[in-house]
Amino acid sequence: MTGPEATELDAARLASVISPLRRTLLAAARAAEHLPEIPDAQIEIVRALPRGTVSGPGELAGRLRLSRSTVSNLLTTMEGKGLVERRPRPGNHRHVEVLATPKALDLFDRFDLASGDLVARAAATLPAADRAALAAAVPALERLRDALAQDKDAP
How many of the other CB atoms lie within 10 Å of CB of 83?
24
**Arithmetic mean of pLDDT over the chain:** 89
Between residues 117 and 149, the one the model is more confident about: 117
pLDDT tens-digit series, residues 55-71 = 999 999 998 989 999 99
Q: Do 89 and 56 meet the contact criterion of CB atoms below 8 Å apart?
A: yes
pLDDT tens-digit series, residues 8-54 = 889 999 999 998 998 999 999 999 989 888 888 898 899 999 999 99
Which pLDDT score, from 0 to 100, does residue 55 have?
A: 94
Of residues 6, 2, 4, 22, the one with CA closest to residue 141: 22
Reduced to 3 states, what is the DSSP secondary structure of residue 125?
Answer: coil
pLDDT tens-digit series, residues 95-108 = 899 999 999 999 99
Q: What percent of the chain has pLDDT over 90?
A: 69
Which pLDDT score, from 0 to 100, does residue 3 have?
A: 47
CA angle 6, 143, 104 (to 5 degrees): 130
The DSSP result for 78-120, as a single string, is HHHTTSEEEEEETTEEEEEEEEE-HHHHHHHHHHHHHHHHHHH
When pLDDT is cut at 50, 70 and 90, the band that residue 152 belongs to is low
Of residues 117, 90, 25, 98, the one with CA closest to residue 59: 98
